[in-house]
Amino acid sequence: MQHPPELYVGLMSGTSLDGVDAVFADLSRAQPKLLAKHYLPFDDALRNELLALHQPGHNELHRTQLAGNQLARLYAAAVNTLLNTANSPGAKIKAIGCHGQTIRHRPEHGYTLQIGNAALLAELTGIAVVSDFRSRDIAAGGQGAPLVPAFHDKVMRHPDSHRVIVNIGGISNLTNLPPNASTSGFDCGPGNLLMDAWCMQHLGRPYDDSGIWAASGKALPALLERMLDEPFFALPPPKSSGRDLFDMAWLRGKLQGGELAEDVQATLLELTCRSIAQAIRQHCAGATEIYLCGGGAHNQTLHRRLAALLPGSGVQTTDALGVDGDYLEAIAFAWLAQQTLHGKPASLPLVTGARHPCILGAIYPA
């Protein structure tokens, strides 16, 4: 049977503040077909402003709106390059699913804020935009995050194998896919964001390539213990987090002074691995297949350490399943936009803690 194409664009710019992942996908079948992909990095000025906006500051409302406009123009540029690469006119696209850039995430206070001016993005591209995916779930008493487990549930389940999908972006989160049982998922803790920030501070580089610098140091047990004493790690799911908690001020509060920089980096990597492994042991008992995605999946030191902490569980990247781990979240937001246009719920109450499943997203017509 021939399926007419359902073409969507997905955009993702996450907690790592590195840039925009853009995908062009056909979602007419159960398994999305990736037609084109593009990555557009943030320049230093935008990255620094987005980082600054995570904290209260002078004239922050005005600066937030200006940054949102700048992001919309960057998103539009990514979409245009993407469609040119695919040689496809925008008129064929059903919608753009755009997560936007998270500036504040405070579900305990009943709100979340992602900027990116979806109205301007629709105007610049001539394509309908679906954005603001978290707010409806929070209104229903949920965390509004993580959102991607619903997509994992749809496309990455196996009828017999117990899989866990671990996304290691700025924050790490997991999706538990046990056969014949409900999907669950939650944020585990810091992924790359603290390692990246420490690397930038001491080496002037945006990330620790393959974890080579971390491998040159040794994890400091007392520092690791102080980090793991953070109450977030002991909270039961559902739970989500971000830079509102795990930032450089948090890290500085754990340091006693005199630590070697490479040892702190090694300890931060150990924190990421321990928090993920602990979450899997406690909440994903019996998992036999673990698949990594996101930027952290490229960190070979992290990959090896996580495999050592989880003996008996095969640790691979989602590329082994035929899914590009660098663009998985962008594909997920294309799928979330499709769910919105079709009027289908796309949140999992077991993941977010909402009172009921919700149709997510706000639609800005072309």
pLDDT band at residue 312 using 50, 70 and 90 as cut-offs: confident
- For residue 2, being part of any structural domain is answered with no
- Residues 53, 64: Cα–Cα separation, whole Å: 7
| pLDDT above 80: residue 3 | no
Cβ pair 165, 177 in contact under 8 A: yes
79 and 202 share one domain: no
125 and 220 belong to one structural domain? no
Residue 333 lies in a domain: yes
Is there a single domain that holds both residue 94 and residue 222? Answer: no
Instruction: Dump pLDDT digits (tens) for 242-256.
Output: 999 999 999 999 999
Q: Quote the crossing angle between the two packed helices 118-125 and 60-86, to the nearest 10°.
A: 30
311 and 331 share one domain: no
How many CA atoms, within 13 angstroms, populate the side-chain half-sphere of residue 306?
32
Please report the pLDDT score of residue 1 as a whole number: 57
Whether residue 1 lies inside any domain: the answer is no
**What is the average per-residue pLDDT within 32-59?**
95
- Say if residue 191's pLDDT is above 60: yes
Supply the pLDDT for residue 353: 97
Average pLDDT over residues 203-217: 97
Output the CA angle 184-16-97, nearest 5 degrees.
65
State the average pLDDT over residues 85-90: 86
Predicted TM-score (pTM) of this structure: 0.95
**Same domain, yes or no: 309 and 331:** no
Average pLDDT rounded to a whole number, residues 93-104: 97
Query: Quick check: is 150 in a domain?
Result: no
> Is 75 among the domain residues?
yes
- What is the pLDDT at residue 261? 98
**pLDDT surpasses 90 at 126:** yes
Looking at the fold, whether 357 and 312 belong to one and the same domain comes out as no
Instruction: Kindly tell me if the per-residue pLDDT of 142 is higher than 90.
Output: yes
Q: What are the pLDDT digits (tens) for 258-279? A: 999 999 999 999 999 999 999 9
Distance CA 266, CA 242 (A): 21
Note whether 121 and 199 are same-domain residues.
no
Burial (CB count within 10 angstroms: exposed 0-12, middle 13-18, buried 19+), residue 21: buried
Most distant pair of Cα atoms in the chain: their distance = 67
Does 20 have pLDDT greater than 70? Answer: yes
Structure token digits, residue 110: 């009943």
Examine the domain organization and report whether 62 and 138 are in the same domain: yes
CB 267 within 8 A of CB 227: yes
How many separate domains does the chain show?
Answer: 2
Give the HSE-up count for residue 355: Cα atoms under 13 Å, Cβ half-sphere. Answer: 5
Residues 298 and 168 in one domain: yes
Q: In this prediction, what percent of the chain has a pLDDT beyond 70? A: 99
- Report the amino acid identity of residue 170: G
Residues 114 and 104: their CA atoms lie apart, in Å, by: 7
Please check whether residue 26 lies inside any domain of the structure: yes
Burial tier of 58 (Cβ tally within 10 Å: 0-12, 13-18, 19+): exposed
Q: Look at residue 2 in the predicted model and tell me its pLDDT.
A: 66
Domain extent for 271: 157-321
* Mean pLDDT of the chain, nearest integer: 96
Strand partners, 176: 164, 184
Please indicate, yes or no, if residue 232 is contained in any of the structural domains: yes
In a domain, 148, yes or no: no
Q: What pLDDT, in 10s, does the model give residues 327-364?
A: 999 999 999 999 999 999 999 999 999 999 999 999 99
Q: Residue 217: what pLDDT?
A: 98
Both 307 and 354 in a single domain? Answer: no
Contact call for residues 315 and 189 (beta carbons, < 8 A): no
**Same domain membership, residue 171 and residue 102:** no
Q: Do residues 190 and 204 both lie within one domain?
A: yes
The CATH number assigned to the domain holding 315 equals 3.30.420.40
